[in-house]
Amino acid sequence: MRRSKRPALDQNACYPNKKDDRGPGLPFSARHERALSSPTSTSARTPAPSQAYHSTQRTPPSSLKLPPAAPTLGARPHSRLPSHLRSVSQEGAVNGHFKQPETRPISQEKLVDDLEKIYAGIVKLEKKCVETCHQQSQTANKLSHEQWQALIVLHRTLLHEYHDFFLACQHPTASPALRLLPTKHAMPARMCRHGIHSFLELLRDRLPFSLEHMLRFVYLAYQMIGLLMESVPAFYETWIECLGDLGRYRLAIEESDMQVREHWADIARMWYNRAADHSPTTGRIQHHLAGLARQNIVRQLFFYSKALISDIPFVNTRISIMCLFSPFLDNYETTSQKYLKVETSLVTAAGILFTHGFIHDYRSHISRFVSELDGTINRTGSNFKTQGAEMASCLIAMILDFGADENYLWKALCASSEKSRQTPTERQSDPQSGKHPSENPMVKTQLHRKFWEQDGPINAQDFTQAAPPLGNRSGVKFSSSDEVTSYVLPIWLQCTSIVASKAGDRNVLPFLHFTLAFIWSQSYVPEALICLEKYIPWNELALSLNSMSKSGVADKEVESPEFPQPQSGTGRQLPEDFLMRGFKWSQHYYPPQFFDGQVTDEDERLLELPSHAAPRVTRCLWVALRLAKLNRYITYDFQKQWFSVLPLPVVCRQPDVMDED
């Protein structure tokens, strides 16, 4: 019998254990309220655990065989209300209302004792769950309906114990030490791993026979995590990422109903986007989003490559990205028929670079991409706004060889980022926080001025220069990461020239904005910009900037040293801003707190509106004016409002990689 598709999840991925992120839990939206509501008749509804922890220990099921009077999925086994909350007036209801129950305060000693009992129960249940899942994964024996029911009860009981532990730790009388216990013992990660993921993997391995039980457990776990998101907001980032994972599981096991698939894809994407809002520099989130973009190969390449060159790269992506590349590298003729030529040629060329394949094959595919780019811009119209920004990002990732450790430009970018971090004392003040130290804007600005405002001209010969490509060498593979860069830079120059030549076309502005922002950010890594400067089409960029419509553009915003950011309205964040944030290089572009406060709604972030035109032109002109102030590449006439190229001998073109030897 044909097995159902399996979601592309990371076996080794460990959920983050963020500390003291106590942002309030966002209320459920209408989109995922439908997911939290009762599923179809094949799914059993699970009631929420009680809002108080339970001091009596619950005994986990010791066997996969259920007794005749087994509890249903809707009942919580072995659950009792704590004695100090149990005394209710015997008079019953008065006028249809119950009197408030009498409560007694709990001592610190009692709380510690209850926590010890709950934790001991968690350890026993974890051991039982791990042993059972491992044992079942080693055998192909088919489980009966009753055995699956017992396993669901076992894991549900473990989830309830975790819930009680979290609530007890945040009891009003809990000491600071008790409140830190979930972080100290990595309870959120353990709950996701032992209570949810391991069992879901077992269920997935037994598809399609376990489909009904897997649906039930996905809904059960989804409701439990939704409850924890509201009641234990300290681990909000972990909960929303786990909800995204559950959405991906539900999406992957739905094969027949495309409407249901799209519904759960939207839910998973919503949670991952919220996770990206909280951790924009974490490459793992981008890795998850790539799995939801399988119908759009350029977007999938964008997310995978972003995961590798984010400020906190996710190295497991180097394995998962081959799910995108392998069909094109192994069976190009068949796979390429499903997509546009401009898309297949770009993805295939990127795959050859990533695997350090044959140079001749790379040149063949990248030539096709360049030849198709101009026509694609004309045909796609406004759709190129989003796709153009994604293509610009993919080309930048290819220049950096997808964040390879030995790549010169990537190493320079990492070293510069480390220099502008906070002082060593500040970095080490909270070693267990698990958060990446942020860049210090003052240090970053001082380093920038120190280099570009120095006396005397800057001699490019004092810096490493990008080596020109060695031509079309048949039968030869890429031998180094820097050789990959040398073959991508001329392509980047050609693509940027083609896009910049579309004078007056607003559809190419996101591509230009993305590219200009990258160039400006490299000025904070001077050795990297000087390495790239020969491959930047300064003439075409200047002509494009001069031809931009300035309708609605305020000169004071363009000429101001402050980053242009309206206090409100649709132009505060542009659609490509959400694509651009989180890269290691984009940390040099955006000011601090740019994505805080008034942020564009999730459903509107990628919508292209007419009101975006003026802010986007303002942004491009502002970046270009900052580049002009470097006094090396272009200059700006404030009276004529005109960009010109400086006639520096270092600004020259290299031989075209497309030319045959």
- Is residue 635 pLDDT above 50, yes or no? yes
Residue 265 included in any domain: yes
Of residues 291, 256, 338, 238, the one with CA closest to residue 20: 238
Assign 578 a pLDDT band (cuts: 50, 70, 90): very high
Please state at what angle helix 384-399 crosses helix 509-522, rounded to 10 degrees. Answer: 30
Q: Which of 22-31, 321-330, 538-547 has the lowest mean pLDDT?
A: 22-31
Over residues 151-187, the pLDDT tens digits come to: 999 999 999 999 999 999 998 888 999 999 999 999 9
Q: Is the pLDDT of residue 362 over 90?
A: yes
pLDDT recorded at residue 291:
93
Query: Which of 279, 307, 329 is where one domain is finished?
Result: 279
Q: Could you give the number of structural domains in the chain?
A: 2
Q: Taking residues 109-121, what's their average pLDDT?
A: 93
575 upstream amide cis, omega within 30 of 0:
no
Q: What's the pLDDT at 449?
A: 79
132 with 265, same domain: the answer is: yes
Q: Distance between CA atoms of 493 and 534, rounded to whole angstroms? A: 9
592 inside domain: yes
77 inside domain: no
Q: How far apart are CA 178 and CA 384, in angstroms?
A: 54
Same domain for 269 and 363, yes or no, is: no
**In this structure, are 247 and 377 located in the same domain?**
no
Tell me how far apart the alpha carbons of residues 134 and 153 are, in angstroms, rounded to a whole number: 17
pLDDT band for position 624 (cuts 50, 70, 90): very high
What pLDDT is stored for residue 603 in this prediction? Answer: 73
Residue 307: inside a domain: no
- Between CA 398 and CA 609, with CA 581 as vertex, the angle to 5 degrees is 105
Look at residue 411 and tell me if it is in a domain. yes
pLDDT at residue 122 is higher than 70:
yes
pLDDT of residue 166: 96
Q: Mean per-residue pLDDT for 485-514?
A: 95
Lowest-pLDDT choice from 1-15, 357-371, 625-639: 1-15
Is the pLDDT higher at 503 or at 187?
Answer: 187
Look at residue 659 in the predicted model and tell me its pLDDT.
52
Residue of higher predicted confidence among 72 and 537: 537
Are 375 and 272 members of one domain? no
Which residue, among 363, 378, 48, 356, has the nearest Cα to 226 in the 3D structure? 48
**CA-CA distance, 157 to 132, in Å (whole number)?**
14
Kindly write down the DSSP assignment for every residue of 152-180, as one continuous string: HHHHHHHHHHHHHHHHHHT-TT--HHHHT
Low-confidence winner among 108-117, 302-311, 416-425, 505-514 (lowest mean pLDDT): 416-425
Report the share of the chain in percent with pLDDT over 90.
Answer: 60
Is 251 inside a domain boundary? yes
- The answer on pLDDT for 650 being more than 50 is no
Residue 316 has pLDDT above 70, yes or no: yes
Name the pLDDT band for 459 (thresholds 50, 70, 90).
Answer: confident
494 shares its domain with 627: yes
Q: Do residue 524 and residue 396 come from a single domain?
A: yes
Q: What does the pLDDT look like over 414-450, one tens digit per residue?
A: 998 887 665 444 444 343 344 555 566 677 777 777 7
Among 181-195, 224-238, 594-608, which stretch is predicted with the lowest mean pLDDT? 594-608
pLDDT one-digit tens code per residue, 202-239: 999 999 999 999 999 999 999 999 999 999 999 999 99
413, 516: one domain: yes
273 and 389 assigned to the same domain:
no
Asked whether residue 262 falls in the same domain as residue 369, the answer is: no
- Residue 593 forms part of a structural domain: yes
What pLDDT, on a 0 to 100 scale, did the predictor assign at position 256? 82
Average pLDDT of the chain is: 82
> Is the pLDDT higher at 57 or at 641?
641
Residue 233 sits in the same domain as residue 364: no
- Supply the pLDDT for residue 13: 41
Q: Which of these, 397, 409, 402, 394, lies nearest to 482 by C-alpha position?
A: 409
Q: Would residue 651 count as lying in a domain? A: no
Nearest to 512 by CA among 643, 412, 367: 643
Q: Which residues contact 93 (CB under 8 A, 6 or more apart)?
A: none
The radius of gyration of the chain's CA atoms, rounded to the nearest angstrom, is 28
Task: Name the band, by pLDDT with cuts 50, 70 and 90, for residue 524.
Answer: very high
Residue 66 has pLDDT above 80, yes or no: no
- Same domain for 544 and 640, yes or no, is yes
pLDDT(20) > 50: no
Asked which of 223, 252, 279 is the last residue of a domain, the reply is: 279
371 and 270 fall within a common domain: no
Which of residues 279, 306, 324 is at a domain's end? 279
- Least confident among 73-87, 173-187, 372-386, 569-583: 73-87
Query: Domain span at residue 130?
Result: 30-64+106-279
pLDDT of residue 103: 66
Residue 50 has what pLDDT? 41
> Which of 171, 172, 170, 131 lies closest to 154, judged by CA?
131
Please say if the pLDDT value at position 394 is more than 90: yes
CB 447 within 8 Å of CB 420 = yes
